[in-house]
Homo-oligomer: A and B are copies of this chain.
Amino acid sequence: MPDTPVPALPALPAALLDALHALLGPRGVVTDQADLVPHLSDWRGLYRGASPALLRPSSTEELAGAMRLLHEAGVPVVPQGGNTSMVGGAMPDESGRQVILSLSRLNRIRDIDPVDMTMVAEAGVILKAAQDAAAGAGCLFPLSLGAEGTATIGGVLATNAGGNTTVRYGNARDLMLGLEFVLPDGSVVNGLRRLRKDNTGYALRHLMVGAEGTLGIVTAAVLRLFPRPRAEAIALCALESEEAALSLFRRFRDRDESAVRAFEYMGGNGMDLVLRHIEGATLPIAERADHYVLVDLASSRPDADLRGLMEAVLEEALEAGEVTDAALAESEAQRQAIWRLREEHPEAQKREGASVKSDVSVPVSKVPELIRRCGEALQALIPGSRPVPFGHMGDGNIHMNLEQPEGMDPAAFLARSHDIMDCVNAVVRDLEGSFSAEHGVGRLKPHMLADWRGGAELEAMRRIKAALDPKGLLNPGKVLPT
Contacts and interface: CB of A to CB of B under 8 A. Distances in A.
Interface stretch (A44-52, A123-131, A201-209, A268-276): A201-209
Contacts of A117: 253, 364
B364 A116 contact: yes
Contacts of A200: 434-436, 441, 448-449, 452-453
A96 to B, nearest CB: 28
Nearest to A226: B257
A250 interface: yes
A183 to B, nearest CB: 6
Interface stretch (A100-108, A185-193, A332-340, A407-415): A185-193
Interface in A412-457: 432-441, 448-449, 452-453, 455-457
Number of copies of this kind of chain in the complex: 2
Of residues A197, A204, A300, A480, which shows the largest number of chain B Cβ atoms within 10 Å of its Cβ? A197
Which of A246, A432, A480 has the most chain B CB atoms inside 10 A of its CB? A432
B432 A194 contact: yes
A455 B64 CA distance: 15
B365 A198 contact: no
Contacts of A439: 199
A400 to B, nearest CB: 14
Contacts of A22: none
Contact of A300 (B198, B254, B459, B465): B254
Interface stretch (A1-9, A319-327, A376-384, A389-397): A389-397
Contacts of A209: 203
A460 B361 contact: no
Interface in A113-127: 113, 115-118
